[in-house]
Structure formats: structure tokens, C-alpha cells
Structure 1
């Protein structure tokens, strides 16, 4: 399974480390403490954020640089969308061009961010449904 959203490589600040766990009291407390309303989060972004932080620590890079470098490795992505508001953030984001992610780093990041497509995809992709819909027909290619 692959990541499907590349327009927000930093997941609203979660992958870059700008957004941390919600303060005690949950979302309402977070709204009171921040002018930016937090969007609902699932376990997926937090797991991805943790993996990005681990890889960044291993490479001596910032989480934002790793998140952007990872996005650059996604098939079909020609330019990730960055959210720099300051010159320092822009310079940090541009450092992503020098990040060398190993195949094991990419595999770890892709695995933790994989999206379960659920139903009906899981049902339609099952062997039983494929057999029922094709009648177990095999098409041989000419040699």
C-alpha cells in the first residue's frame, strides 16, 4: 500500500515535530491553548511522525527535511508542497535536497504510513471474489 496524500508532507506540522501530542484535556484544551484549531488526527500520522523523527535523528537532519525528502521519493511527485513561513524554515526545507534516505529508511517510512484501503477494496481483492468473478479462468499468453 502507498501513501496517497503528497500535498501535505509534514501532515500539518506532525511530521516536522511542530505539532506534538494534545495537552491533557484533549482537543478542547488544545483549542484553548492554540489559535490554530487542530484537525482530527488518527494513529497513522502520529506513527508516521514518530518514524520520521527517528530517521531524522539517525541521519542528523531535521524531521521537516526527512519528511520532504521522503515525499520526493514518492512515485509521481515532482515537487512537494512546503509550508515555510520564514526564511529559516525555507532554508531548512531546502536542506531536504541533501538528505540521503536508504532503502531501509524508505521501507520503514512507507510501512508505517501504509493506508488500509478497507472495504470494498479488501473484499474485491480477495482470492474468493476473484475466482467467482472470473470463473477461475486462466488466460495464457502466446509464446
Structure 2
């Protein structure tokens, strides 16, 4: 993705600007929680590249992406991810209760950062799928496993 973004300095800066936000969330919520959130958005938006990337990240945390129990914070983040990456009709519903849960636990600043980062993650997913960014070679083994699981279902 970075190689493609280098064709446009403003686009590269735009997508690169999300990294400090991601690090801020990692320091507050933990790296695993941010990766769980990112995976939920990526899977909901059907971005294979990003889904494989975050599945690999969860495995690096020692987490089986297909068989783990999310923490309370992760469950709240997954609920918010579904709202961010959901079909447009989902946006007419009442905001998810998970926003209030996170606000009570971490404050309004964290809630704003979660939604801002999630929106940027959705934009990243859309960029990758719209431009047809190829899957990195190091993600191909995960793609074979994911494809085998999808075909078996």
C-alpha cells in the first residue's frame, strides 16, 4: 500500500497521519485490542489484504483469530467496528452502547480517537480494495488457510 501511496505525496501524508492516532490507542487500550478492532473493520468491509494482515497480528499476540474470547473492551470495540464498517442503513440506528461503555472507562477523548481511527481504517480498506493492492507475499500462507476455511464452510 505504501508503495502505491508514494505516487501522491498528499495521499501518503493523509494515510500516514493515522499512525500517531493508532499508537495513542495502543497505549490506552493495548495493541491486541487495537488489532482486534482493526480486524473487525477489515472483515466487515471485506478487505482481504487488511483482514490477513490483522489475523497475522493477532497470531503474533498468541491469539487464534477464529477461536478467542474477546475481553470486555475488545467486545465493545468489535461492536463499534460493526457500526463503522456496516451497511449505510446501520448508521440510522442508535449509536452503539459500547461507545458509552468506553467513554465511562476511558473518557471522551478515547471514544473520539476510536471512531476516528476506525474511520481511517475503513478508508484504508476501501483504498486497498478499490485500487486492487496485491496481497503481500508474506501474507499468502494466511490467505491459503483462510481460503481453505472458507471453502470448507
> Is the TM value for this pair above 0.5?
no
Structure of greater Rg: 1
> Normalization by structure 1: what TM-score?
0.33
Which structure features the higher share of helix residues?
A: 2
> Normalization by structure 2: what TM-score?
0.32
